[in-house]
Amino acid sequence: MTTLAPHPTPDPTTGSGPRVTVLADRCAGCQECLVRCPTAALALDPETWTVVADETRCVGCRQCQRTCPFSAIVVEGPTLVAPRIDPGRRHPAPLEGDRSETRRPIATWAEALAEAQRCLDCPDPTCLLGCPAHNDIPAFLRAIRDGDLDRAHQVLRQTTVLPDVCSRVCDQAVQCEGACSWSLAGAPPVAIGALERFVADNAPVPPVLPPEPGDPTADAEGLDVAIVGSGPAAIGAAAELVAAGAQVTVFERDLVPGGLLRWGIPDFTLPDTVARRPWEQLVAAGVTLHLGQAVEPEDLGDLAERFDAVVVATGAPEPLRPPVGQDLAGVLDASTFLRAAHDALHQGGSLPFLPEDRERPADAPARPARVLVLGGGNTAMDVARSAVRLGATAVCVDWMDRRFAPVRPDELEEAEQEGVEVRFSTTLERLEGEGGRVRRAVLAPTTQRSATERPRVGPGARTVEEVDLVVAAMGYRVPAEVAAAGAGLPLRKVVPDLPDRRWLGSGLVDGGTPAWARHQPVGRLALGRESLRRAAALPRQPRVWFVGDALSGPSTVVEAMTQGKVAAQAIRHHRPRRPDASTTPPRHVLVVAESRSGTTRALAEDLAGRLAKAGAEVRILACAEAGADALAWADLLVLGTWVEGALVAGVGPARRTRAWLAALPPLAGLPVATFCSYAFAPRDTLAQMRRVLLNRGGRILAEAAFRRAGRPHELGVFADRILAAIPQGARA
């Protein structure tokens, strides 16, 4: 049995521990705080039915304060937690040509145990919600405390196939660690990323294995799935599918697989051996990998005819370019530079893309090549640090104020320690060239008063920099052709006005902006990621799913991997088949019924019963309950509404039904049946619904209008029409 090491205890003589105040007039005795307190410091007084606190047990994590729905608890004073183990960083010398990792790992079992024991093992762990993959962090930390790295890998494998990668490249401060209870309470969080890396570094990441014959988890056997791209999203999808028995074929335009893991993240952050590991294991598991084969958006239809399902994981490869200097040689994008720099560092070469005429007059002092990097984010730091390792000097310019720049502080600190000059509040005004090649950059100052304000170019003095290369690291976007093929991509991260009870009850949404998370709203960030996680389960074309950066625009490795896994799980769930394969009736029918008087609901329940007798699993939900998760579950949608309005002024679907229809994602061929209940006349209610559903890509199987008095015979005819259409109407 796992036991936690004792956390520091308060000194009863000085009162140095946390102080807990329970406002009895607010406490409703709901016991929400009791079930969430990790140290059993709270109890319920049976006489007053209010909470009482034992301050000798309290460690100041403030979970009770965050989760109390009535704000009846106030915790003051220190957090009682042991110091965080920080492995630190190494600074190679000499730096030129060095590819070794700069971030040190947790080196010993003693350090790993000490750090894992800082975890409170929370009953409702907010770190899990903060992790885009929803890794069961407390469970793998318990395995570390038990000295069982194999079990730690088993826990991680449930949600991730990239623990060695994500532990190195994730920005944990605004994800799992920022959502740690200690972080939300104002203390240093558990070093989750370092502990995940400790597991991956000290026990081999287990390979993906195809299922044994008769394995009940092999629910994708017989499916033939194509994946376009080989980055993190493709890795997540391929691993999920091949482990479930599917035949997986991957098409990658490059000659090596891995996408940005191979060329976009330098070895000093992600060693090449770690980046190669996923595809080496996937190919060994039976994934067919076609390299040097590009699949364009216009080819997706042909691919869908050859495969049961297609997963588009092409990323967001189109770089944003500066508005000036595009006609000059020596001006390039970050992807082009990083690919060439990766090869040069591996092969012992020199800085690529330099002009051949860099010779100086005899009386001029020699100087290293000078690289100007446009941008101040993490990619810009990768470009600049790679340039320094190839013998150049590097200057990064970013028009944002240093206070608001999106770069990770550790990335910025490492870059500056390695000699990169980073100038914030500076922008490129123009580039000047000679002989068709860039020679000088004119830089202008900018001002920015808040993170939400667009920087403005100021009137201050301009500076002129002599440059040999200009690399644009200003971001990427989804190509227009891919966006069109995916029905309006990329999607935005959406934070609902009223999150579901699990999120609200965890206290993460209202957990504030922790200092450890760079004062970012970790709860809202997590909810935004969750909206895209759910969207990844929905196809954007019939039998075609878009995932990763192709779905959302530039994001993170762990988000892309997770979306790939979610799409693969949807494919396992629906078992789509290409047109020449045998079709099966829908297994899951979603009935969405908006009802005021109960008539529509009664019709929906009657209809659901008839469909259930035909062998389908049926769910009945109101519009407010039928979100992306429910739509992703469904093989058939039945939408019912009552008719609202007056005959003179016009009638149509109920207001809530119209709002639900307006928010529908692309249905990608989902079969739909609609009905309405009315008192006098339905008019064009069904036609209004039909137009929206067809515009969203739905396929209408049947429609019916019923007087509110109810007509069982007509309802039976409607059900028979749906059942007759089902074998041809399953999600294609």
Q: Do 75 and 140 form a contact (C-beta atoms < 8 A)?
A: no
| pLDDT tens digits along 666-696 | 999 899 999 999 988 899 999 999 999 999 9
What is the distance between the alpha carbons of residues 246 and 238, in angstroms, rounded to a whole number?
9
Given pLDDT bands bounded at 50, 70 and 90, which one contains residue 2?
very low
Is residue 179 predicted with pLDDT exceeding 60?
yes
What is the distance between the alpha carbons of residues 629 and 634, in angstroms, rounded to a whole number?
9
Of 61, 76, 91, the residue at which a domain comes to its end is 76
Q: Do 493 and 566 form a contact (C-beta atoms < 8 A)?
A: no
Mean pLDDT in residue range 376-403: 96
705 and 570 within one domain? no
| pLDDT tens digits along 4-45 | 445 666 554 455 799 999 999 999 999 999 999 999 999 999
Of 555, 581, 607, the residue at which a domain comes to its end is 581
Place of tokens 């040097």: 292
595 and 568 within one domain? no
698 and 640 within one domain? yes
Q: Domain for residue 5, yes or no?
A: no
Q: Domain for residue 90, yes or no?
A: no
454 and 363 within one domain? yes
| pLDDT tens digits along 66-112 | 999 999 999 999 999 999 999 988 989 899 999 999 999 999 999 99
Q: What is the identity of the amino acid at 47? A: E
- Any idea of the CA torsion for 12, 14, 17, 18, to the nearest 10 degrees? 110
Place of tokens 């209940």: 677
> CB count, 10 Å around CB of 354?
15
Q: Domain for residue 95, yes or no?
A: no
Q: Domain for residue 430, yes or no?
A: yes
Higher pLDDT: 586 or 644? It is 644
Q: Do 543 and 666 form a contact (C-beta atoms < 8 A)?
A: no
CATH number at residue 388: 3.50.50.60
Nearest to 661 by CA among 632, 631, 636, 705: 631
End-to-end CA distance of the chain: 49
Q: Domain for residue 23, yes or no?
A: yes
Is residue 404 predicted with pLDDT exceeding 60?
yes
Q: Domain for residue 96, yes or no?
A: no
Give the range of the structural domain holding residue 42, as residue numbers without chain letter: 19-76
What is the distance between the alpha carbons of residues 441 and 324, in angstroms, rounded to a whole number?
10
**Residue 429, φ and ψ in degrees, nearest 5:** -95, -45
457 and 365 within one domain? yes
560 and 530 within one domain? no
| pLDDT tens digits along 520-536 | 999 999 999 999 999 99
What is the distance between the alpha carbons of residues 429 and 397, in angstroms, rounded to a whole number?
11
Its pTM stands at 0.91
260 and 247 within one domain? yes
Q: Domain for residue 10, yes or no?
A: no
pLDDT at 589 (0 to 100): 93
Given pLDDT bands bounded at 50, 70 and 90, which one contains residue 728?
very low
CATH number at residue 28: 3.30.70.20
- Percentage of the chain beyond pLDDT 70 is 94
| pLDDT tens digits along 570-606 | 999 999 988 766 555 667 999 999 988 788 999 999 9
- Beta bridge partners of residue 50, listed in sequence order: 45
470 and 337 within one domain? yes
In a 13 Å sphere around the CA of 386, the CA atoms on its Cβ side amount to 33
3-state secondary structure of 466: strand
Domains: count for the chain: 5
> CB count, 10 Å around CB of 586?
25
pLDDT at 662 (0 to 100): 95
335 and 293 within one domain? no
| pLDDT tens digits along 246-275 | 999 999 999 999 999 998 999 999 999 999
Q: Domain for residue 568, yes or no?
A: yes
340 and 468 within one domain? yes
Nearest to 147 by CA among 200, 199, 207: 199
667 and 606 within one domain? yes
Place of tokens 């076609």: 290
483 and 564 within one domain? yes
Is residue 361 predicted with pLDDT exceeding 50?
no
DSSP secondary structure string for all residues of 236-296: HHHHHHHHTT-EEEEEESSSSS-THHHHTS-TTTS-HHHHHHHHHHHHHTT-EEEES----
Helix (H) or strand (E) holding 610: helix 599-613
